Amino acid sequence: MTNLATSALEVDSIREARTAAPQCFHCGDLCRGPTFTDHEKSFCCQGCLAVFQLLTENGLTDFYSLSENAGVRVKAQAGREQFAYLDDPVVQRRLVDFADARTTRVTFRLPSIHCIACVWLLENLFHLQPGIGQSRVNFPRQEVSIAYDPARTKLSEVVALLGSLGYEPELKLSDLDNVAPTRQARRLWVQLGIAGFAFGNIMLLSISSYLGLDHFSGGLFNRISGWISLLLALPVLFYSAADYWRSAWVSLKQRMLTIEVPIAAGLLALFLQSTYDVLTGAGVGYFDSLTGLLFFLLCGRLFQQKTFDRLAFDRDYKSLFPLSIIRKEGGRQEHVALSQLGVGDTLVLRHGELIPADATLMSGQAVIDYSFVTGESAPVEKAAGEYLYAGGRQTGGVIEIKTVKPVSQSYLASLWNQDAFRKETGRSLNNLTDLYSRRFTKIVIAVAVGSALFWAGRDVSRSLKSFTSVLIVACPCALALAAPFALGTAERILARRNIFLKDTSVIETLARVTDIVFDKTGTLTVAGANEVVFHGQPLTEAEQHWLYSMTHHSTHPHAVRITKAIGRGHIPQPVRSYLETAGCGIEGSVAGYKITIGSPAWLQSRKIVIPPMAAGDGSVVVAAINGQYRGAFWLANALRPETAGLLTELSSRYELALLSGDHDRERPQFAPFIGSLHFNQSPLDKLGFIRDRQKSQRVIMMVGDGLNDAGALKQSDVGVAVVENINAFSPASDVVMDAAVLPRLPEILLFAKTSVRIVRWSFVISSFYNLIGISIAASGRLSPLVCAILMPLSSITVVAFACGLTNWMGRKVQP
């Protein structure tokens, strides 16, 4: 009964209810309240029972044997009519991947896919509904691709079936432009395949010359193998190397010496020299080196391109745009597609929903958050009759608005100030490799020109040869491989520990960090073991239900903890006129009762009498029902046992700071470890603090919970989101980290430093090879054989060194 062990609630009445409660056969939750039974199995709710019955009827009970309590709790039974808008042809065209008269194929993201049983069930969907054909799950991306016969079933029915099984798809506007990354990955694979193919065959053809058997095979063989090599190398040069030509051209145009410039120069020199050799019959050329180089380079690229599909580092804010909206017509509410909205429609917006078109407020308390549009984080209150601009987000309760302009999705998309929440994605030009290659390129060009000039007076052909030879040998393939392999390995090692990086360049920044700024709530103090204690008359089942319905709307860490503590087994009830006051609390009414939950000071300011309480550690969240004090949740904020050690260890090497939105009651707890303590900070204060520090050339790492301090995370050099659930949406962060590994932060930072040092050492090794190569080349005596040995050898040594040493050093951070 792991649920019992981890449950954090200490209310006795609840505990009794729990020990008695059986576990739901479908989803594994504890059954509370009325229990449904079937086939001698208990279910926590009608939804789970319905799924079980559906699966039993269709002979799919293997679902339960594949993995225990595999089911996903069905949140709210969704009616088919809720998805009716999906049958609108305009919407379908945007969602569907492929359609003809007999087949339609559609791909959905289902965030609740989590185990092998899910995969099995979703791939057996065709048993559950006639008309559904093959369905394929992509587990890492949490996607399912379903083919169905449009004559026998409808898209809305397919989605409703998924919803009724507990796998409700995310239906968002961003579904439109998901295609690009896969196409790019496929291209890289094909490029690599062609390079490898040419590399292997050209090497085979060159064996005789490697072994010095040229006399035996004769001139004819050499000439033919030279021509075949040339033909094999052409697709490599034009297709596999295409990206290098392009990036080299771009950097030259911007007058930047990135690593691609010497690579492209080397490749070009290789190709021209070899083609000249083959055409004049002077030899077989260096095609084996050329194709081998590209093969290794592309391997490095593929290695570095590891992405964590289910994480949302770069997920566009467009993904918050819904496809449908609730329209009110003649007292009836219906879901309609955005594209069907006209001017003068009355829409119902709930908490967190977007205003899809310019509109006027009809009724309700509008508190509009325009932060995605303007960057201004304070929500604006609006009175009935006022004008609302498209793109804002309602943050209070339910409002009704009347549109005054037609919906334009492209306008909506362009309106959103995406910069406000996204770090500049382009690659930084100050990464290690480019810094080094800038110096390197200058030296190489100097040596090439120097040796050409040196020979120019004596031997013109030798002068040309030495010029190209230097460029060939200096092609910094090994240099380009060092960082992808060392840092890529480090990224993988960290991912195994549930630390996910946006890309490998984050490691370089991690190694340069000088200051660490912590956000207290949600990072240093929240842990799974933290207790939520309720003081006051024990809550009745119904009261818990109301409070849960309120708190599950809020993303504040306190609310999340209370939700977690009382939440299991409840289905939220609708909340009317919900309003969240950032940093203070939430209010609204559930089932006719007015519920207020928040900080004691805030409740007192709303004329709610709170009896005096004994002071203690931790935060207090007070709940009131109908304006009457009901009790207080004590969220024990005892530091995690490891926190003290963590802070002591870090404080010896980094400047630490703590930014908290809370009161400063806990100052004494942190004072011994952290010099710079700041309490009662608003999100804007946090952002300002980081900006100030950065002005004095500090490299700041901000550790926060991801959502409540997105601005500060974005401003910092490395934003670390510490989350309990790694699938959580954490915009603006560079690192997503499981809260359980936070105590290992010093080791992780040390590991980042080590990895960067390994990259530096790899540079030294590759420079050593280059030095040997260049000294041979400058004398104008570079033979294809030397080239064919030296270049792969240097690449392989560097890769082996970088991967091997990083792996070895990474053992310390392994679980």
Binding flag, residue 189, another protein (CB under 8 A):
yes
Nearer to another protein, 3 or 58 (CB): 58
Q: 752 near 486, Cβ under 8 Å?
A: no
Alpha-carbon separation of residue 277 from 73, 209, 789 (angstroms):
70, 14, 19
Nearer to another protein, 205 or 323 (CB): 205
Site for another protein in 221-260 (CB under 8 A): 221, 224-225, 228, 232
CA-wise closest residue to 748 among 673, 649, 655, 640? 649
Q: Site for another protein (CB under 8 A): how many residues?
A: 52
The stretches of 10-100 forming alpha helices (DSSP H) are 12-20, 46-57, 62-66, 89-95
How far apart are the C-alpha atoms of 509 and 503, rounded to whole Å? 11
Q: Which of 124, 153, 340, 694 binds another protein (CB under 8 A)?
A: 124
DSSP states along 779-795: TT---HHHHHHHHHHHH
Scanning 132-140, 569-577, 613-621, 713-721 for contacts with another protein by CB under 8 A, the matching segment is 132-140
Describe the strand order of the beta sheet including 366-369 as a list of residue ranges: 380-382, 366-369, 393-394
Binding flag, residue 117, another protein (CB under 8 A):
yes
Question: How many CA atoms lie less than 13 Å away from 348 in the CB half-sphere?
Answer: 14
Look up residue 243 and give its amino acid: D
Residue 126 C-beta: closest distance to another protein, Å = 5
Q: Which of 200, 322, 536, 583 binds another protein (CB under 8 A)?
A: 200
DSSP states along 406-425: ---HHHHHHHS-GGGG----
Scanning 219-227, 529-537, 616-624, 741-749 for contacts with another protein by CB under 8 A, the matching segment is 219-227
Residue 487 C-beta: closest distance to another protein, Å = 22
Nearer to another protein, 202 or 658 (CB): 202
Binding flag, residue 793, another protein (CB under 8 A):
no
Binding flag, residue 138, another protein (CB under 8 A):
yes
- Identify the burial level of 188 via C-beta atoms within 10 angstroms of its C-beta, where 0-12 means exposed, 13-18 middle and 19 or more buried: middle
Q: Which of 28, 111, 133, 804 binds another protein (CB under 8 A)?
A: 133
- 279 — phi, psi (to 5°)? -65, -40
Binding flag, residue 306, another protein (CB under 8 A):
no
Scanning 146-154, 313-321, 612-620, 773-781 for contacts with another protein by CB under 8 A, the matching segment is 146-154
Nearer to another protein, 56 or 360 (CB): 56
Binding flag, residue 99, another protein (CB under 8 A):
no
Residue 435 C-beta: closest distance to another protein, Å = 33
Binding flag, residue 749, another protein (CB under 8 A):
no
Nearer to another protein, 94 or 127 (CB): 127
List CB contacts of 614: < 8 A, sequence separation 6 or more.
none
Interior angle at CA 244, CA 243 and CA 246, nearest 5: 65
Nearer to another protein, 492 or 753 (CB): 492
Q: Which of 78, 112, 139, 445 binds another protein (CB under 8 A)?
A: 139
Binding flag, residue 137, another protein (CB under 8 A):
yes
3-state secondary structure of 292: helix
Binding flag, residue 127, another protein (CB under 8 A):
yes
Nearer to another protein, 59 or 344 (CB): 59
List CB contacts of 338: < 8 A, sequence separation 6 or more.
321, 322, 323, 324, 325, 356, 407, 409
Residue 59 C-beta: closest distance to another protein, Å = 5
Binding flag, residue 120, another protein (CB under 8 A):
yes
Nearer to another protein, 169 or 522 (CB): 169
Scanning 26-34, 188-196, 496-504, 569-577 for contacts with another protein by CB under 8 A, the matching segment is 188-196
Question: What single-letter DSSP state applies at residue 236?
Answer: I
Nearer to another protein, 60 or 765 (CB): 60
Q: Which of 179, 190, 404, 793 binds another protein (CB under 8 A)?
A: 190
Scanning 24-32, 83-91, 100-108, 758-766 for contacts with another protein by CB under 8 A, the matching segment is 100-108
Q: 296 near 315, Cβ under 8 Å?
A: no
Residue 211 C-beta: closest distance to another protein, Å = 15
Residue 271: both structure tokens together: 């190709």
Site for another protein in 340-399 (CB under 8 A): none
Binding flag, residue 768, another protein (CB under 8 A):
no
Nearer to another protein, 89 or 216 (CB): 216
How many other CB atoms are there within 10 angstroms of residue 759's CB atom?
A: 28
Scanning 214-222, 325-333, 465-473, 666-674 for contacts with another protein by CB under 8 A, the matching segment is 214-222
Q: Which of 53, 103, 112, 807 binds another protein (CB under 8 A)?
A: 103
210 membership: H or E segment, kind and range: helix 180-210
Alpha-carbon separation of residue 2 from 9, 29, 244, 530, 726 (angstroms):
14, 11, 53, 16, 20
Q: Which of 36, 148, 167, 467 binds another protein (CB under 8 A)?
A: 148
Binding flag, residue 147, another protein (CB under 8 A):
yes
Q: 658 near 520, Cβ under 8 Å?
A: yes
Site for another protein in 31-60 (CB under 8 A): 56-60
3-state secondary structure of 342: coil
Residue 114 C-beta: closest distance to another protein, Å = 12
Q: Which of 3, 46, 182, 540 binds another protein (CB under 8 A)?
A: 182
3-state secondary structure of 775: helix
List CB contacts of 187: < 8 A, sequence separation 6 or more.
none
Binding flag, residue 747, another protein (CB under 8 A):
no
- 262 — phi, psi (to 5°)? -65, -30
Q: Which of 194, 267, 268, 749 binds another protein (CB under 8 A)?
A: 194
Nearer to another protein, 202 or 452 (CB): 202
Nearer to another protein, 123 or 642 (CB): 123
Residue 215 C-beta: closest distance to another protein, Å = 12
Nearer to another protein, 194 or 625 (CB): 194
Q: 37 near 25, Cβ under 8 Å?
A: no
Scanning 199-207, 623-631, 644-652, 756-764 for contacts with another protein by CB under 8 A, the matching segment is 199-207
List CB contacts of 418: < 8 A, sequence separation 6 or more.
316, 317
How far apart are the C-alpha atoms of 62 and 47, rounded to whole Å? 19
Residue 185 C-beta: closest distance to another protein, Å = 7
Binding flag, residue 66, another protein (CB under 8 A):
yes
CA-wise closest residue to 91 among 322, 401, 414? 322
The stretches of 553-659 forming alpha helices (DSSP H) are 557-567, 600-605, 641-651
Q: Which of 75, 80, 94, 141 binds another protein (CB under 8 A)?
A: 141
Residue 181 C-beta: closest distance to another protein, Å = 10
How far apart are the C-alpha atoms of 603 and 62, rounded to whole Å? 52
DSSP states along 102-168: S-EEEEEE-TT--SHHHHHHHHTGGGTSTTEEEEEEETTTTEEEEEE-TTT--HHHHHHHHHHTT--
What are the DSSP E strand ranges found in 294-394? Answer: 324-329, 332-337, 346-349, 359-363, 366-369, 380-382, 387-388, 393-394
* Contact residues: another protein, CB under 8 A: 56-60, 62, 65-66, 102-103, 105, 116-117, 119-120, 123-124, 126-127, 132-141, 147-149, 182, 185-186, 189-190, 193-194, 197, 200-201, 204-205, 216-218, 221, 224-225, 228, 232
